[in-house]
Structure 1
Amino acid sequence: ARCCGSETPAPIALASVIEFIHTATLLHDDVVDMSSLRRGRPTVNAEWNNPSSVLVGDFIYSRAFQLLVSIGDMRIMEIMADTTNKIAEGEVLQLINKHNPASTEQSYMQVIHNKTAILFEAAAHCGAILANADAATQDALRLFGLHIGTAFQLIDDALDYDGDAVSLGKNVGDDLAEGKPTLPLIHAMTQCSESETKVIRECLSNKTPLLPDTLAQVISIIRESGSLEYTRAKAQEQATLALSKLSLLPPSVYRDALYTLAEFSVARNV
């Protein structure tokens, strides 16, 4: 919004709405995934219980929409309503794909668009709307958000196999342990030997807790298959597309901040 000349406090309220929705989805996700650690600390469901996590998530969702009403823009209301619907749809798609070794890169990209990228897309789009930007600028910022959100999730999924547990604030290999076929895993099955592919497929299909040695074996296969490099290259493609959308904006510290954000989305290690 500030990139497009807005000087009102409304973008701050909108940013709060986005953060509320994001936090609510995390509270619900941790219950669905039975996660015990997030950002290096116990999850709400681990510290207290599932009902507490679900109900607090519901409360934060409702507060987000109360705050959204105070902004008073029906177009933004429409976008955010559609966005939260798509996020839920993405989570359902991810649940359907769990423990499915036949998952494709196309189905994976659909999941990350709906569950992650679409919130970035909505944030950037609505910011432009609040600033009364022209249609071309609105669309450019919408696409900026879409591409940066996709890049962010691709890197997140690469870090799950290539990161450090202390830095990540969660266990390395959590996606595999939860049966999630993310891009590093999907790509690895197209690159490694038949015996290695069999190991991955069996681990992904397994609905019981994986033994530490088995988990370590699959992580090693993925790291040696070139799939992390492939995933990072895909993320860089998305970040480059995001940066290309900023040329319509006039030079400013706010535009510079968006450039930095796009670069951080692929350079981060946490």
Structure 2
Amino acid sequence: MSKDDVALQALFNYLREDTEACNREIVARMESPVPLIPQLGAHLVAAGGKRLRPLLTLASAYLCGYHPSPQRRRHVGLAACVEFIHTATLLHDDVVDESVLRRGAASANAVFGNKASVLVGDFLFARSFQLMTEDGSLPVMAVLSQAAATIAEGEVLQMSMQNDLATSEETYLKVIHGKTAALFAAACRVGAIIADSPSEDEKAVEDFGTHLGIAFQLVDDALDYVADEKILGKTVGDDLREGKITLPLLVAYRQAEEKDRQFWERVVNEGKWQESDLAEALRLIQKTHAVEETMRRAQSFAEKAVAALDVFPESEIKSLLSDTALYAARRAH
């Protein structure tokens, strides 16, 4: 077990009762008289996943002093809501990216087809909004509905800059803020809201989630070029094949010699990609230390996440969140 897995497992163990309740809520809410919906839902549950985003909702609530009552466990329902938003976006993303693997197993669209994946993704979005309305808090609904819109904007922005090496790092960071960090931030913020936290604490956990989300996506983008495919759960080089502009690619292009820049322009800008180009692309990524630079940036954002928690007194849950942020930026998968 890697250090990041140990950190995440420690957070899970601390929140085990609530996490298991959240998982039961997720399974129950996937029930439908339409058989394909629970079938596809069972496929998603079986595929696993870290459940990091709902863990952040649960942990942030406790960090901010939330005390659930036996009659109403708002943090569990909202954690499930966050996971539904996340899973819905994954279903849609795999269709857009024509992915065949997700977490090392066949993606839902590969098994059930694109139409089913899109429609079940819509169903999960609808379920998330049902959970929001059942909670009954307009501030919670405002945060989560805005996050859902921001995720869509991030994905559209990423699509619009596809195959364009002129993309700036500023634009790239806007993309990963939208597609990833916005939901991390929202997951944390709703925990603070239901704890009736002061605005300073709410802002602190939101900042924590934002910085952690950016670090998390930076590592994902780096691993696309270097990770073991069996561990990564997808094919190495997928981002390059799809023309996605990520930080490792931008660093490698910026530091490339002229003949190497011509290679990148042919493969990325012109889309003249051959499978034999992957080895050369990986060589150039290694030559320019693009992965190391991306991981260094991830570590910097993880440290910003930890610093955001300085407003809170020392506690076990604060330490667990800090460890999770630091190790998430160093993970190998």
Q: What TM-score does the superposition give when structure 1 sets the normalisation length? A: 0.97
Supply the AA of the counterpart residue of 1:132. D
Instruction: String of CA shifts for 1:132-181, please: whole Å, max 9, x gaps.
Output: 11111111111000000000000000000111101101001110011001
SS of the equivalent of 2:115 reads helix
1:256 corresponding residue in structure 2: 319
2:274 corresponding residue in structure 1: 211
1:223 corresponding residue in structure 2: 286
Whole-angstrom distance in 2 between the partners of 1:254 and 1:12: 17
User: Does residue 17 in structure 1 map to residue 62 in structure 2?
Assistant: no
Q: State the superposition RMSD in angstroms.
A: 1.1
User: Does residue 198 in structure 1 map to residue 258 in structure 2?
Assistant: no
2:192 corresponding residue in structure 1: 128
- Partners of 2:187 and 2:209 within 8 A in 1: yes
The alpha-carbon deviation at position 90 of structure 1 amounts to: 0.6
The alpha-carbon deviation at position 5 of structure 1 amounts to: 1.2
Whole-angstrom distance in 1 between the partners of 2:328 and 2:77: 24
- Partners of 1:83 and 1:118 within 8 A in 2: yes
Range with bigger deviation, 186-195 or 249-258: 249-258
- Partners of 2:214 and 2:301 within 8 A in 1: yes
Pairs within 5 Å for 1:88-103: 88-103=152-167
- Partners of 2:172 and 2:246 within 8 A in 1: yes
User: Does residue 165 in structure 1 map to residue 225 in structure 2?
Assistant: no
- Partners of 1:3 and 1:250 within 8 A in 2: no
- Choose which of 267, 288, 304 in structure 2 pairs with 1:241: 304
The alpha-carbon deviation at position 251 of structure 1 amounts to: 2.4
The alpha-carbon deviation at position 240 of structure 1 amounts to: 0.7
2:126 corresponding residue in structure 1: 62
SS of the equivalent of 2:234 reads coil
Question: Among the aligned pairs, what percent are the same residue?
Answer: 43
User: Does residue 265 in structure 1 map to residue 265 in structure 2?
Assistant: no
The alpha-carbon deviation at position 246 of structure 1 amounts to: 1.1
- Partners of 1:108 and 1:181 within 8 A in 2: yes
The alpha-carbon deviation at position 252 of structure 1 amounts to: 2.3
Whole-angstrom distance in 1 between the partners of 2:295 and 2:278: 22
Whole-angstrom distance in 2 between the partners of 1:120 and 1:196: 37
Instruction: String of CA shifts for 1:177-201, please: whole Å, max 9, x gaps.
Output: 1100100001111112111111112
User: Does residue 176 in structure 1 map to residue 236 in structure 2?
Assistant: no
Q: What TM-score does the superposition give when structure 2 sets the normalisation length? A: 0.79
Supply the AA of the counterpart residue of 1:256. S
Q: Which runs of 5+ in 1 are unaligned?
A: none
Whole-angstrom distance in 2 between the partners of 1:239 and 1:143: 11
Instruction: String of CA shifts for 1:95-135, please: whole Å, max 9, x gaps.
Output: 10111121111110010001100000111111111111111
- Choose which of 150, 163, 171 in structure 1 pairs with 2:214: 150
- Partners of 2:295 and 2:330 within 8 A in 1: no
Number of matched pairs: 269
2:249 corresponding residue in structure 1: 185
1:84 corresponding residue in structure 2: 148
